[in-house]
Amino acid sequence: MKLAFCLYKYFPFGGLQRDFLNIATLCHEHHHRIRVYALSWQGEVPPFIDLRIVPIHALQNHTLYRRFQRWVQRDLKKDPVDKVIGFNKIPGLDVYYAADPCYIAQIKHPLAWYRRFNARFKQFYQDENAVFNAAAKTKILLLNASQKNDFQRYYHTPDTRLTILPPGIARDRVRPDNATSIRDALRVEFSIKNDDILLLMVGSGFKTKGLDRALFALAALPTALRQRCHLIAIGQDKAKAFVRLGERLKIADRVHILPGRHDIPRFLVAADLLLHPAYQEAAGIILLEAMVAGLPVLTTDVCGYAHYISTAGSGEVIPSPFDQGYFNTLLLKAIQDTNLRQQWQNAALSYAQNTELSGSTEHAVKIIEDC
């Protein structure tokens, strides 16, 4: 078949982007022809992809996305395909991969009432409604049951159009036999002592992932303990505001903010604790990647995959509404209690060994082929 994939932006280190490329690659391996529409593409383009960069511009995102949709629709009329798969909410999709949470559920929050009267809301609501309304035909690939509840609450989407995908963990995230030597080498590279505490954050979009919350928690530690801690945050995002916050909190020497990179497994086995105090997160694949690497986790219950941490007993899940003081206390407890972190690590590795945490890509491709 001829398959067209649509996403606004591609860069190598986003979770949505990784999922897209995995699915497109497997579709190619199944002998389908792959076309991709995007506003921008960073990094190498696989040779099997017919990449079409949409040549439009706008000052505001909602205008840009509307023009993108119209351009793609015109191009598809001139050069049709068998199916259109979207990784952003776009009208006219055959399959939508729901990497984002329900937009209208966020806007319906009492504190967000003012957003309902601007052009941005109108555009984003129309796009979401085009995919999820009960009369539409788009097949929807969800990442967790919470998404299903939200979308059905506002759009009454039939069960027959909704599929909850299993997680999809890459094999290179599994804790290797030489984890200790990897840990030692990375700590030497970043001048981190063997008995110091390495806190890790991974994820593009520092604001939504809660990097500010992590900085506040680090700053709240007792001085002597704080001097033994290092926070490494890795992601594709602008770091300037968070660097300034670290300076204001007088912890700049404790914090390393790195751009996206391909050697995340090294950091997963070298760290003592993963911090993921996200404001919103449809899934949070890094939570499961930490689990299979044996890395304990502190996260928030808004993450779609947070329930795996609770079930495995491999860390703590912070309930909503988020309480910074409670998070600070949890971090202090986790740092001080070496035995607790070891229990969390053992629980993570045991759960990962006895639970199927893969198959997402294969399941998604089957839905695309069968729809």
Q: What is the CATH number of the domain that holds 11?
A: 3.40.50.2000
Axis crossing angle, helix 285-293 with helix 338-354, rounded to the nearest 10: 100
Q: What residues contact 320, with CB distance under 8 A and at least 6 apart?
A: 300, 301, 302
What's the one-letter identity of residue 356?
E
Q: CA-to-CA distance for 194 and 192, rounded, in angstroms? A: 7
Rounded to 5°, angle at Cα 199 from 194 and 203: 135
pLDDT the model gives residue 119: 86
In the numeric block, which tokens belong to residue 281?
């997160």
Q: CA-to-CA distance for 148 and 133, rounded, in angstroms? A: 13
Residues 79 and 208 occupy one common structural domain: no
Q: Are 321 and 198 in contact (CB under 8 A)?
A: no
Residues 201 and 133 occupy one common structural domain: no
Residues 97 and 204 occupy one common structural domain: no
Q: CA-to-CA distance for 279 and 321, rounded, in angstroms? A: 10
- Sign of the torsion angle spanned by Cα atoms 113, 148, 308, 228: negative
Q: Which residues of the chain have pLDDT under 50?
A: 111
Residues 209 and 114 occupy one common structural domain: no
pTM: 0.90
The number of folded domains in the chain is: 2
Among residues 91, 45, 85, 51, which one has the least CA distance to residue 68? Answer: 91
Residues 209 and 348 occupy one common structural domain: yes
Residues 188 and 136 occupy one common structural domain: no
pLDDT the model gives residue 107: 76
pLDDT the model gives residue 108: 67
pLDDT the model gives residue 338: 97
Q: CA-to-CA distance for 8 and 16, rounded, in angstroms? A: 11
**At 198, is the secondary structure helix, strand, or coil?**
strand
Residues 181 and 292 occupy one common structural domain: yes
Q: CA-to-CA distance for 255 and 218, rounded, in angstroms? A: 9
Q: Which residue has the tokens 């033994």?
A: 228
Residues 121 and 200 occupy one common structural domain: no
pLDDT the model gives residue 348: 98
User: In which element (H, E) is residue 309 found?
Assistant: helix 306-312
Residues 155 and 204 occupy one common structural domain: no
Residues 141 and 234 occupy one common structural domain: no
Burial class (CB in 10 A: 0-12, 13-18, 19+), 202: buried
Residues 183 and 249 occupy one common structural domain: yes
**At 211, is the secondary structure helix, strand, or coil?**
helix
Residues 204 and 91 occupy one common structural domain: no
Q: CA-to-CA distance for 151 and 109, rounded, in angstroms? A: 15
- Identify the domain containing residue 341 by its residue range: 171-354
